[in-house]
Structure 1
Amino acid sequence: MDGSEQHEETAPPRARREGIGFMGRLRAYFLAGILVTAPIAITVYLASWFIELIDSRIRPLIPSAYNPENYLPFSIPGIGVVVMILFLTLIGAFAAGYVGRLVLRAGEGLVGRTPVVRGVYSAVKQIVETVLANKSKAFREVVLVEYPRKGLWSLGFISGTAHPEIQKVSGEAMVNVFIPCAPPTAGYLVFVPRREVTVLDMTVEEGLKMVLSAGIVTPPEKPMEEPERISA
């Protein structure tokens, strides 16, 4: 048997080899199309849903004389969002002035004398001010805690220092850690000793991506370093 006959016996049929390559390329192109279009499509869908939601609430409140859609033969998507942004900006400018501060102080005084409403208003105001304040450290650190039992680790976010009464009961420094569910429709607030909290070298955005994707999307790998523990 010469070399050419041996090559013909060992080599697979050319038609079959080309068929496998062609189907493989089609599959790769199909998956590439999904990877390209899915993020764009989902982003556009969520953006359009949010704009339509705001428009449906704000558009009926616009006076007919000031609604540009009454003078145009077509609808303007996003007009409700624009009106809401302008309205909030005007309120902020008014509240920053002397008269606005007086009105705001009088309104808060009235709310403060209402039994049930004052508790809700105070809690919501404190949450908003804490989250929006640049100096606030709430949800600035991604941490790892052993929860719900030893040997199982949960991803969480430090939301602040525990109340003195809680620290008095535990007898040591404690921090508030919010552990979101995956996907984050709810979560748990746990009080953990500082010495048992491990701060991760991970941004809050990366931590939220992990939670939103149920662990499918993970941050890029970084050089191995010793995990930092919060000192007591």
Structure 2
Amino acid sequence: MLALRKWLVAGLLAIVPLAVTFAVLRWIVETLDSTLLILPEAWQPDKLIGFHIPGFGVLLTLAILLIVGAIATNFFGRKLVEWGNGIVARIPVVRSIYSSVKQVSDTLFSPGGNAFRTAVLVQWPREDVWTIGFVTGTPGGDVTNYLVGDYVSVYVPTTPNPTGGYFVMLKKSDCIELKMSVDEALKYVISMGVVAPAHHNDNP
């Protein structure tokens, strides 16, 4: 029985990561393949070659991103983007949603953005209980009128799904900057502490 249990655990450890990785990749490919629906029916690969080949949507999405990126980086493309942003900014309800999403995307994907560049150790949800958070910036707007001192905005992710979490504003002195990359910190959070990052010695 002990041998059977050992083999079962070993089998799970070998198969589960592969199965989950395969399932995630399959979901991504199937989701991106849905972009093929924007093509006219006569141009869709399934119609042209007579059968479905997974992955065409991935190639189409990459092609669209590259084309839009190439256009948006030249002079006329930037003017076109600015003109489109100006139109959207005049639509009452849409402008608030669009501006918020644009600010977040600019911060996350821009090379000069500072979001998720620093992993910190914070006490959450109460004193003497520690977790990992990510500095997303500094508080702004009317909030700063009520915060006395040097504060930072911190995103505290949940485990094992880091896409959900909490946004908190903490004193900078209460945040301990960790000597680990954001990828290492995320891996630590997602694995529920099982996959510990490499130890960084404080001494040079």
Question: What TM-score bracket applies, with the shorter chain setting the length?
Answer: 0.7 to 0.9
Give 1:116's aligned residue.
Answer: 93
Structure 2 residue runs of 5 or longer lacking an equivalent are: none
Kindly indicate whether residue 136 of structure 2 is the aligned counterpart of residue 159 of structure 1: yes
Percentage of matched positions with identical amino acids: 36
Kindly indicate whether residue 71 of structure 2 is the aligned counterpart of residue 63 of structure 1: no
> Could you tell me which of 166, 172, 175 is aligned with 2:152?
175
Aligned residue pairs total 202
Partner SS state of residue 183, structure 2:
helix
> Could you tell me which of 79, 92, 96 is aligned with 2:73?
96
Q: Larger radius of gyration, structure 1 or 2?
A: 1
Give 1:199's aligned residue.
Answer: 177
> Could you tell me which of 101, 104, 111 is aligned with 1:127?
104
* Equivalent residues of 2:42, 2:48 under 8 A apart: no
Kindly indicate whether residue 106 of structure 2 is the aligned counterpart of residue 136 of structure 1: no
Kindly indicate whether residue 6 of structure 2 is the aligned counterpart of residue 31 of structure 1: no
Give 2:57's aligned residue.
Answer: 80
Counterparts of 1:223 and 1:125 in 2: how far apart (Å)? 36
Counterparts of 1:67 and 1:148 in 2: how far apart (Å)? 51
CA-to-aligned-CA distance 1:89-133 (integer Å, 9 cap, x gap): 112222233332332222111111111211111111111111112
CA distance 1:223–1:46, shift in 2 (3 Å): closer
Partner SS state of residue 53, structure 1:
helix
Give 1:150's aligned residue.
Answer: 127
2:174 partner letter: E
CA distance 1:144–1:70, shift in 2 (3 Å): same
1:130 partner letter: T
1:159 partner letter: T
Counterparts of 1:141 and 1:97 in 2: how far apart (Å)? 32
Moved more, 119-128 or 163-172: 163-172
CA distance 1:104–1:144, shift in 2 (3 Å): same
* Equivalent residues of 1:139, 1:158 under 8 A apart: yes
Give TM-score scaled by structure 2 length.
0.86
Give TM-score scaled by structure 1 length.
0.77
CA distance 1:151–1:122, shift in 2 (3 Å): same
Counterparts of 1:168 and 1:137 in 2: how far apart (Å)? 23
CA-to-aligned-CA distance 1:21-53 (integer Å, 9 cap, x gap): xx53x5444433332222222111110111112
Counterparts of 1:61 and 1:147 in 2: how far apart (Å)? 45
Deviation at 1:64, TM superposition (A): 3.3
Pairwise CA RMSD of aligned residues?
Answer: 2.3
Counterparts of 2:133 and 2:48 in 1: how far apart (Å)? 52
Kindly indicate whether residue 14 of structure 2 is the aligned counterpart of residue 40 of structure 1: no
Deviation at 1:185, TM superposition (A): 4.8
